[in-house]
């Protein structure tokens, strides 16, 4: 069955607090945002997240029809992207392409999929577009007010585990970023933030979040001694994380270690983070955010 979804972005003040949203129907949507973004980044991200959500739900083989009111986003994806890729991701005027990382992420995500776009005039009463508009703006407004952006249900079947306290960023779990104090080293702070992102995604069963963080060829050593490709797998309920130590392991590479406790158990965890651009493959991974990528993670039960 063809999936039809509306996407929209919003940026209060442009640039300013921003949000994105995709909507399939009243019970199937998602949204998110940032403290500072442009309108066009919102529009693009909405498409990217829709692509990922459908893929994570195992529905990448179904045709996807996207309703968008941004001619910019539609042109980027259906037209300009191809010329840019041919020219080595350069614009006609040689000036840098805006929102490049998100565009490249879409470029990878959309490969081999059947996606069509339809332009709908903004604020013209189209119900799905209105809903996406509301959600995107709601996300931006939430973030402007200092609250986390309300995320939607997504596709049913995208994650199977119960929500964990780590996922809501409330700070009670020791995983909160920023705010009170800054980490003592700017570069290690980047790795610490990435580790926390990884933990939240893993515990929430957020496969696309994990994929964002994974280095090409990433693997994991599980508590049972097995190794599997990828980062996804079962997580304990309501874990508590000890202090995370980050140690440099070479230019751009970091090792993190910490302990984890949960009802009935504890473990030692370690991760190896590699720089985003640290592979010599012909097609660079060009990660969406330029941050470090998780190459290896290992868990050992404590007893």
Partner RNA sequence: UGACACCGUUUUUG
Annotated binding site for Mg(2+): 8, 43, 69, 133
Q: Which of 82, 85, 87, 123 binds RNA (CB under 7 A)?
A: 123
Q: Is 204 in a helix, a strand, or coil?
A: helix
Residues 83-102 that bind DNA (CB under 7 A): 83-84, 91-93, 95, 97-99
Residue 126 contacts by C-beta under 8 Å, 6 or more apart in sequence?
Answer: 6, 67, 120
Minimum Å distance from CB 72 to DNA? 5
x/- mask, DNA, residues 40-79, rule CB under 7 A, reads xx----------------------------x-x--xx---
164 binds RNA (CB under 7 A): no
Letters for 78-117 (x = contact with RNA by CB under 7 A, - = none) are ----------------x-----------------------
Residue 91 binds which entry of DNA, RNA, none, with Cβ cut-offs from 5 to 8 Å by kind?
Answer: DNA
Report in angstroms how near the CB of residue 272 gets to RNA at its nearest: 33
Three-class DSSP category at 266: strand
Closest Cα partner for 156 from 3, 19, 32, 46? 3
- Interface with RNA (CB under 7 A): 8-14, 16, 39-40, 42-43, 69-72, 94, 121-123, 133, 137, 140
């Amino acid at each position: 069955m063809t999936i039809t979804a509306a996407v929209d972005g919003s940026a209060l003040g442009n640039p300013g607090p921003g949000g994105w949203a995709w909507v399939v129907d009243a019970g199937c949507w998602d949204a998110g945002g940032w403290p500072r973004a442009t309108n066009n980044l919102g529009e693009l991200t909405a498409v990217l997240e829709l692509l990922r959500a459908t893929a994570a739900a195992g529905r990448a083989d179904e045709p996807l029809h996207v309703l968008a009111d941004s001619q910019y986003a539609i042109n980027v994806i259906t037209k300009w992207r191809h010329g840019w890729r041919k020219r080595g991701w350069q614009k006609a005027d040689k000036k840098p392409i805006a929102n490049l990382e998100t565009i490249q992420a879409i470029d990878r995500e959309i490969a081999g999929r059947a996606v069509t776009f339809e332009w709908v005039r903004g604020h013209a009463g189209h119900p799905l577009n209105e809903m996406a508009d509301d959600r995107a703006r709601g996300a931006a407004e939430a973030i402007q007010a200092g609250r986390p952006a309300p995320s939607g249900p997504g596709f049913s079947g995208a994650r199977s585990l119960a929500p964990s306290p780590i996922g809501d960023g409330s700070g009670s779990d020791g995983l909160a970023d920023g705010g009170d104090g800054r980490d003592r080293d700017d570069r290690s702070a980047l790795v610490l933030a990435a580790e926390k992102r990884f933990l939240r995604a893993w515990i929430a069963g957020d496969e696309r979040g994990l994929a964002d963080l994974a280095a090409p060829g990433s693997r994991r050593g599980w508590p049972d001694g097995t190794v599997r490709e990828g980062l996804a797998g079962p997580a304990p309920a309501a874990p508590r994380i000890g202090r995370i130590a980050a140690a440099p392991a070479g230019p751009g590479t970091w090792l993190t270690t910490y302990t984890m406790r949960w009802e009935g158990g504890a473990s030692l965890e370690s991760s190896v983070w590699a720089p985003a651009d640290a592979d010599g493959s012909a097609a660079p991974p060009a990660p969406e955010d330029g941050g470090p990528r998780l190459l290896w993670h290992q868990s050992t039960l404590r007893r």
